[in-house]
Amino acid sequence: MSAETPAQTPSTAAAALPADHPLRTTESARSTADSALITALRGARPERHPVWFMRQAGRSLPEYKKVREGIGMLDSCLMPDLVREITMQPVRRHDVDAGIFFSDIVVPLRLAGIGVEIVPGVGPVLDHPVRTAADVAALPELEDSALDVIREAVSLTVGELGSRPLIGFAGAPFTLAAYMVEGRPSRDHFGPRRMMHADPETWNALASWAARVSGQFLRAQIVSGASAAQLFDSWAGSLSAADYRAHVQRHSAAAFEAVADLAGPGVVGGVPLLHFGIGTGDFLHHLRDAGASAVGVDHRLTLAEAHRRLCANPGPDGRGAVPLQGNIDPALLGAPWEVLEAHVREVVASGAAAPGHVVNLAHGVPPETDPTELTRVVELIHSIDVPERPASGEEHA
């Protein structure tokens, strides 16, 4: 996917967002356009460092465990009032700068009619793995009406968040396809990696299907009120840069293309798009070039180094530097406060190299995390002064 840089003639496609969308509304109490999160994701300096946590909606919160009691994970993701409540819980408790829509990356599979459950202690498990051309040909398409429950949940949540943005998300095609081929979580994702080389036609058909449902899932959330969106490629780090570029990138680009009229690096006033993968430090530029306006970084390299690598590898559209997200090591949430504080300050300082920086973890909140530590981390991040924008040219060096 090719995109214009902000310096070029901007797309007017942001007008495709509904007039009452939080990024377009003129009601100050509901507008997210000037929020710290959106400001940073658009490459500007907000008044305070924005922060949210992946997997912040639950896991470590006692109030989450209480409302989820006796309800299966995927069932809870399809109950709009419960989704709203769980999404809001960490916002109320921690004062994070955005809500992350409570869902799961395999929810689109369930909505399409594929048999899948999240087994406690295991993860997503499919009734029937998808491993042959016939298996792929038999996959059902995701009907638009099946997404009504997602639209309702987003609308309810946005109504309570007010001027605080909601982040929508979807699983990237490779990660969805990896689960579908293996039938369950895998350590090495040998099955999808073998398929892309041994049977590339079947692989491309499966990844194309996954891209369609991911794009539909993203679009339903954005049109219903999400002010930013993230594509999670949890397992892309199992790939080489060459394999990602040859067999995966175009499918992630197709997912982003589904919302290109609402978002993207060339859409002024549109919804910022984040792209995050674990272990993808060697090909962050490929994640950017799939159509993202910002890139998430895990704990394996500093944000300053991620910025340097992106600048050194500009894309076909000329973009090098983009806003970054990350990258507090989740393992340090259990460290003594003086160790954690020093690490958080280092992350914030390193992120200053990028055009914009959203503070986050390098992945998700561990379930054993003390919620009071997360609140303390947020307070620390908000207390750190936001530096002035570097002089022209410095942040792209």
CA pseudo-torsion sign 224, 146, 265, 16: negative
Cα–Cα distance between 19 and 24 in angstroms, integer?
A: 6
User: ∠ CA(51), CA(81), CA(70), 5° rounding?
Assistant: 95
Q: Is residue 244 annotated as involved in ligand binding? A: no
Q: HSE-up of 225 (CA within 13 Å, CB side)?
A: 27
Give me the amino acid identity at 1: M
Cα–Cα distance between 380 and 375 in angstroms, integer?
A: 9
Q: Are 288 and 254 in contact (CB under 8 A)?
A: no
Residue carrying structure tokens 């377009």: 24
User: Which pair of tokens denotes residue 26?
Assistant: 């003129």
Q: Is 72 left (phi over 0), alpha (psi -120 to 50) or beta?
A: beta
Residues sharing a CB contact under 8 Å with residue 235, sequence separation 6 or more, in sequence order: 174, 175, 178, 186, 189, 278
Of residues 13, 95, 128, 19, the one with CA closest to residue 371: 95
Cα–Cα distance between 395 and 387 in angstroms, integer?
A: 12
* DSSP characters over 11-36: B-GGGGS-TTSTTT---TTT--TTSH
Cα–Cα distance between 43 and 294 in angstroms, integer?
A: 9
Q: By three-state DSSP, how is residue 61 classified?
A: coil
User: Which pair of tokens denotes residue 351?
Assistant: 């992120």
State how beta strands 123-126 and 116-119 pair: antiparallel
Q: Is residue 89 annotated as involved in ligand binding? A: no
Q: Is residue 57 annotated as involved in ligand binding? A: yes
Q: Is residue 104 annotated as involved in ligand binding? A: yes
Q: Is residue 64 annotated as involved in ligand binding? A: no
Q: Work out the burial of residue 53: count CB atoms within 10 Å of its CB; fewer than 13 is exposed, 13-18 middle, 19 or more buried.
A: buried
Q: Is residue 199 annotated as involved in ligand binding? A: no
Q: Is residue 179 annotated as involved in ligand binding? A: yes
Please enumerate, by residue number, every residue annotated as part of a binding site.
55-59, 104, 179, 234, 363
Please enumerate, by residue number, every residue annotated as part of a binding site for substrate.
55-59, 104, 179, 234, 363
